[in-house]
Amino acid sequence: MDELAFRAATEADVDAIVALVESAYRGESSRAGWTTEADLLDGRRTGPDEIGEYLARPRSLILLAERDRDLLACAHVAEEDGAGYFGMFSVRPTLQGNGLGKRVLAEAERIVRETWRLPAMRMTVIDSRAELIAFYERRGYRRTGVFKPFPYGDARFGIPRRDDLRFEVLEKRFAPED
């Protein structure tokens, strides 16, 4: 992974981003990795409409991680409510668990902290995903105890296989500059 390159996505990347995100979260292909939501949700995880909205928003980008122009991972990074927001984090399932995701997260944090000069990064995680929450806690995120409802009935977010889904907000505060 030494030759990993980061860049911001463009409209030309939309189809590749959708394919990567879907492969990481939905269907049988997602079971090759540990981030699958296949037991929790059916249906889509994202689509070209959502990706286009992210690309059009100010202070919003989709960070791509590539090797030899081959898309390996992505994440949506944006400014929301005075802090960075990290979401749609996807690593090719067959490459999960080798440190690639940690590098993408670190680059997203660098953008939020150094380029946008924001004091914190936040994200929402399905609160029943204990292994995923533990991954973020090991990287300095803390559970805030703030919960958001899952958007039941909105197929753009998937078709729930359970009726107890909700999101918890995780947050990492950055040390102030000296």
102 occurs within a structural domain: yes
26 occurs within a structural domain: yes
DSSP secondary structure code for residue 114 in this structure: I
Note the pLDDT tens digit of each residue in 152-172. Answer: 988 878 888 999 999 999 999
Virtual torsion, Cα 42, 129, 113, 23, nearest 10 deg: -30
Distances (CA, A) of 80 to 2, 60, 83, 151: 32, 9, 6, 19
178 occurs within a structural domain: no
Give pTM, 2 decimals.
Answer: 0.92
* Tally of structural domains, the chain: 1
CATH of the domain at 112: 3.40.630.30
* Residue 65 confidence (pLDDT) above 70: yes
109 occurs within a structural domain: yes
Note the pLDDT tens digit of each residue in 27-45. Answer: 777 777 777 777 888 888 8
Q: What residues make up the domain containing 39?
A: 5-173
